[in-house]
Structure 1
Amino acid sequence: MPITPFHFGPGAALHTLAPRQVSFLAFCAANVVIDVESLYNLVHHREPVHAFLHTYVGATLVWLGLAVLFWLACRLQAVASRTRLTLRAVALGALLGAYSHVLLDSVMHRDIQPLMPFAAGNPLQGLISLQALHWSCLASALFALLWMGVRGRWSSGSR
């Protein structure tokens, strides 16, 4: 995939760089929704494992669906009064999560056709090694953790 948690590293990095603009929760939700399709296909022995939601058209629907669900939830007073998230941050987090998921998985999996229905094939497959892909995801997670630690120390006044 790389398995869904690997996708969270880039999202954590994006969120730490722009915490008010990018919802990490929405980023993660988009990744999980996309991989639910793959899990279903694996369990039911369906090919390709990475199907419609692993295309940019499918990812666009996931992004829009999450944004609409958040918008609808915020129309409920109980939800609106308890959240500090904005529709813009959720929409951007879901967009970045969905599209980065397709991008990262396109590098790794042969069965993805990210540009369908407009073009067949996967021009990104094998662009970088799997090891480099996994390490970059882990490095982005480590960056996020370090940056949060630095920012926390700085904002608390201790140096």
Structure 2
Amino acid sequence: MPFTPFHLGPGAIVKAAAGRHFSFMVYGGTQVLMDIEPLIGIIQQKPILQGYTHTILGALVIGTVAGLIGRPIAAGNPLLGAVSFGSLHIACVVTGALGALVVAARFKSQGRA
């Protein structure tokens, strides 16, 4: 299934374990690059969506490219450190809760709940 957020779970676990030795931004960018091929397949209505980029060799090439172009982007981020981790976590919890409320309201208005 293309464009699945399930890939981010293992990445978050590795980030928690590896700390500064693992770039979650580069990992997420790699997932986007991997899913370009399925996107093209969806647009062109191809029967097979995951081809060469979803092989070991394709993943190695894409991971290498993402690692090479991702590190300078992450290191040069002028907003890095602009918000404290505590404030960022509070903002994430608040927006997540608001999003859950919006989804619940939409389900309720459509009679699904």
Q: Same-fold call, TM > 0.5?
A: yes
- Matches of 2:2 and 2:40, distance apart in 1: 16
Instruction: State whether structure 2 residue 36 is matched by structure 1 residue 31.
Output: no
Distance 1:22 1:55 in 2: 22
Structure holding more helix per residue: 2
CA contact (8 A) 2:15 2:23 kept: yes
Aligned partners of 1:17, 1:69: CA distance in 2, in Å?
23
Moved over 6 A (4+): none
- For normalisation by structure 2, the TM-score amounts to 0.59
CA deviation string 1:50-85 (max 9, x = no partner): 0110011111111111122135x46xxx92x8497x
Q: 1:29 to 1:52 in 2, by over 3 A?
A: same
Partner of 2:59: 59
Contact 1:53–1:62, Cα closer than 8 Å, also in 2: yes
The alignment's C-alpha RMSD in Å is 2.5
Match status 1:4 vs 2:4:
yes
Conserved in 1, the CA contact under 8 Å of 2:30 and 2:62?
Answer: yes
Q: How many residues align?
A: 79
Q: 1:2 to 1:36 in 2, by over 3 A?
A: closer
TM-score, structure 1 normalization: 0.43
The 8 Å contact of residues 41 and 48 in structure 2, kept in 1 or not, is answered as yes
Q: Percent sequence identity over matched residues?
A: 29
Query: Aligned residue for 1:48?
Result: 48
Gaps of 5+ in 1: 85-159
- 8 Å CA contact retained: 1:30, 1:63: yes
d(CA) in 1 for partners of 2:7, 2:70: 21
Counterpart in the other structure of 1:22 = 22
Query: Which ranges in structure 2 are unaligned for 5 or more consecutive residues?
Result: 81-113
Could you list the per-position Cα deviations for residues 27-55 of structure 1 after superposition, in whole angstroms to 9, with x for gaps in the alignment? 11111111121011011112321011001
Counterparts of 1:70 and 1:23 in 2: how far apart (Å)?
9
